[in-house]
Structure 1
Amino acid sequence: MPNIKSAEKRVLVAKERNARNKAAKSELKTSLKKFDTAVSEGNQEAAESAYKVAVKTVDQAATKGLIHKNNAAHKKSSLTTKLNSIKQ
């Protein structure tokens, strides 16, 4: 346990941020998984709606610094390729 007041505050802030980041990463993984299941089922309407949600969460994660912007671009490119594969 920290002895200094500012160190105590840092511990609390770190816990809050950790929880927030964990929730955001979980949301990101969930949205990507929903998109993958829609694509694997071949449901084009569900895939398109899941695609919009997945791209939004990837962009938010990149903006907040959870993932690198190049990682986000790679994920979005992969999502787009998968979506286009079921359209044909």
Structure 2
Amino acid sequence: MANTISAKRRIRLTQKETAYNRYWRTTMRTYVKKAKKAIEAGDRQAAQEAVLKAQGILDKVAVKGVIHKNEAARRKSRLMKLFNEKFSDTASKAE
């Protein structure tokens, strides 16, 4: 257990920051999961909207410092790759 006042203050601050980061991290994961489910469902319009929302959340979380900007870029890239793999075939078959 911390003995000094500053150490006790840091413990309180760390708990507050951890709760803040946990909220944004779970929100981010939720939006990414929703986007993946929409992609798997096959509805292009719904998937596109979900991917755009997920990208916005990823950018916001990166700006807030919860995740690194390169991690956000990597996650967005992987999400777009899934989207394009699923719907580029559909678009070419329809033509």
1:59-78 equivalent positions in 2, closer than 5 A = 59-78=59-78
CA positional deviation for 1:26: 0.4
Query: Any idea what the Cα deviations from partners look like across 1:35-78, whole Å, max 9, x if unmatched?
Result: 00000000112111111110011111221222222221121122
Q: Give the length in aligned residue pairs.
A: 88
Secondary structure of 1:67 counterpart: coil
What residue identity is the alignment partner of 2:55? V
* Percent of paired sites with the same residue: 34
Residue number in structure 2 paired with 1:52 = 52
- What are the ranges of 5 or more consecutive residues in structure 1 without an aligned counterpart? none
What residue identity is the alignment partner of 1:45? Q
- What are the ranges of 5 or more consecutive residues in structure 2 without an aligned counterpart? none
Residue number in structure 2 paired with 1:15 = 15
Q: Which has the larger radius of gyration?
A: 2
Structure 1 moving runs of 4+ over 6 Å = none
